[in-house]
Amino acid sequence: MANIKVGIIGGTGMQDWDVFELKEEKDVVTPYGKPSSKLTLGTVDGLECVLLNRHGSGHRSSPTYINYRANVYALHQEGCTHILATSACGSLKKECVPGHFVIIDQFIDRTNKRHTTFYDGEPGSLEGVCHIPMRHPFCAKLREVIVKSCIEEKVHVHSKGTAITIEGPRFSSYAESHMYRSWGGSIINMTTIPEVCLAHELGMLYAVIAMVTDYDCWQEDHEAVHVDYVMKVMKENREKVTRVVAKTLKAIGDIDWAAEVENAKMIAKTSVML
C-alpha cells in the first residue's frame, strides 16, 4: 500500500476541529507565501493528517484574497497525497435542501481575480506551463468513500453535482442565480476554484464536501441568502460534517491508494511543457 497523508481544508464555520488523536501546530512558508493558517498535524486511527483553515483565524480572508497556492503547496510540502475539503454553499436545485451535503463531481469556473496555477513564470514558481486535464476534477474513489460515510452517519447526501464557483464575496443577483440554474448548476460556492486545479497540478487526490446552507436567491418562496442565515445552518452542519470527516478518514486509512496516487502524479508530471 502507498504511504498516504490527508490534508483537510476547513471552510466557513469549520475552524478549530477537534478530530485528531495526537496533534501539534506548525508555522510554514512556501514559495508562494504563507498559507491562511498554521498547520495542525495529527492522526486519526494511525492515519497522518494535516488541517488547514482556508479563511484563517476568525474568517479574516475574503474568497478572492485567500492564498490558495500557498495553502495547497503547504499541504504538498507536508507530504499530503489527498485533500479533503469542506465548503459552505447555496443550492441551485430544489432537491438540494439546506442541511444536505453534495459530493460534487464537476465545476463551472466564474472566478476572474485569482492565481490559478503554480506555473506562472514568476521567480520561484514551478517552471514551464501546465496544461492540466480537468475532465474529471474530483477523485471518484475518494468521493465514493465520502458518500458511504455520509450514508453510514445518516446524513442526507447527493452523490454528484456541478458547482458554480463565483468570485464573491458578494452573493448572486436574482438574474445570475437563474442563469446558473439554466446552466445545470447544482450548488454555488466561492472557493472550489482554484483549489481543485492546484491540487491536480501537484498530483494530489482532491474531493470536497459541499454543505448546503441556503437556496441562493432564485426561489420565490424562500428567504434569500444572507450571512446570518448561512451561519445558523452552518452551526447545524458542523456536527454532521465532523462525524462524516472522521468516518471518511478512518475509511481512507484502510484502502490501498497506490494506483490512484501514482496516476495523479503521472498526469501532473506529463502535463507540464518546458
Q: Of the listed 16, 45, 109, 214, which one is catalytic?
A: 214
Any residues with CB less than 8 A from the CB of 54 and at least 6 apart, and which?
Answer: 9, 10, 11, 36, 61, 66, 71, 85, 191
Q: Of the listed 216, 228, 254, 256, which one is catalytic?
A: 216
The C-alpha cell at 8 is 483537510
Q: Annotated catalytic, 45?
A: no
Q: Annotated catalytic, 214?
A: yes
- 77 in helix, strand or coil? helix
Asked whether 112 and 35 are in contact (CB, 8 A), the reply is no
In the chain, how long is the greatest CA-to-CA distance? 54
- DSSP-assigned states of every residue in 91-147: ESSTTS-TT-EE---EEEEE--SS---S-SS-TTSPSSEE----SS-S-HHHHHHHH
Beta strands per DSSP E along 197-236: 205-214
Which of the residues are catalytic? 214, 216
